[in-house]
């Protein structure tokens, strides 16, 4: 039992964690494609949701007397608050050890649970999967807000877990900074050898794109519930993947 505890409480070697972190980026694109297709809300990219809420507030002062809180704004607020809650759960990792196998595995399992609850809820709601315009979202009932909440919380938790590892993948959920840093990378055009700082950024961007592409392809076949179910399965694989990452080597004196 002591050996098992020691194994789980070992800090992982973040320099060898590129594979699961790339999978995290894949999941960002995967989940966001589902939510954006249905309600035009990004569950991971909270900058857009924050600006959307600012615009909703600004309508109160535009002289057109539109004081209604549109459903799109309600969904953006639900996503933002849930994302923040998910990130707050990440404080548990600070207690356990944010780079330990125990937390990386447990935290990803929590993400899996949140994604699965979102999948079951939207399946039970009977909602559609693809909206034609912002004024008529495919998810527009109470259960859909539950789905938005859980999948946004999963992204918030993923984001803080990625951030705590302090790698080139940064948060794994927002790539604006990654794009900027990639464009200013001194070794950007050095194609004669591998450059970790550049190549990991490229991997993060590429696999987020792939995640969104694959998600939408699946979405057209099996709908939101089934696609989120697939996403939960992928998250489970990532959770087990963390157990295979070698421990950080002790610093030599």
- Map out the domains of the chain as residue ranges: 26-244
CATH number of 26-244: 1.20.1250
Q: Angle 101-125/2-9 helices, nearest 10 degrees? A: 80
* Per-residue confidence (pLDDT) for residue 136, from 0 to 100: 85
> Which pLDDT tens digit goes with each residue over 205-215?
999 999 999 99
> Which pLDDT tens digit goes with each residue over 95-130?
999 999 999 999 999 999 999 999 999 999 989 999
Host H or E run for residue 172: none
> Which pLDDT tens digit goes with each residue over 63-93?
666 667 788 899 999 999 999 999 999 999 9
Is 58 exposed, middle or buried (CB count within 10 Å of its CB: 0-12, 13-18, 19+)? exposed
Per-residue tokens: 10: 């070992």
Q: What contacts 62, CB < 8 A, 6 or more positions away?
A: none
- Return d(Cα 86, Cα 61) in angstroms, integer: 33
Rounded to 5 degrees, φ, ψ at 180 are -60, -45
Confidence (pTM): 0.93
- Return d(Cα 148, Cα 25) in angstroms, integer: 19
* Per-residue confidence (pLDDT) for residue 252, from 0 to 100: 40
Per-residue tokens: 251: 């610093």
Distance of CA 23 to the CA centre of its chain: 10
């Amino acid at each position: 039992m002591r050996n098992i505890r020691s194994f789980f409480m070992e800090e992982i070697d973040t320099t060898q964690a590129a594979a699961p972190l790339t999978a995290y980026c894949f999941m960002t694109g995967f989940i966001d494609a589902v939510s954006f297709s249905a309600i035009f809300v990004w569950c991971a990219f909270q900058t857009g949701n924050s600006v959307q809420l600012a615009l909703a507030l600004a309508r109160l002062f535009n002289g057109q007397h539109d004081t209604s809180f549109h459903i799109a704004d309600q969904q953006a607020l639900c996503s933002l608050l849930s994302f923040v809650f998910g990130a707050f759960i990440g404080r548990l990792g600070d207690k356990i050890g944010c780079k330990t196998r125990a937390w990386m595995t447990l935290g990803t399992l929590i993400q899996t649970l949140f994604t699965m609850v979102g999948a079951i809820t939207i399946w039970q709601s009977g909602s559609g999967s693809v909206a034609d315009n912002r004024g008529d979202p495919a998810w527009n009932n109470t259960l859909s807000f539950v789905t938005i909440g859980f999948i946004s919380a999963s992204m918030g938790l993923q984001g803080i877990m990625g951030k705590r590892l302090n790698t080139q993948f940064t948060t794994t959920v927002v790539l604006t900074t990654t794009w900027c840093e990639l464009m200013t990378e001194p070794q950007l055009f050095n194609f004669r050898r591998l450059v970790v700082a550049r190549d990991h950024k490229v991997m993060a961007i590429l696999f987020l794109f792939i995640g969104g592409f694959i998600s939408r392809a699946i979405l057209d076949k099996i709908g939101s519930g089934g696609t989120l179910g697939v996403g939960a399965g992928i998250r489970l694989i990532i959770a087990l993947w963390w157990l295979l990452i070698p421990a950080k080597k002790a610093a030599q004196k």
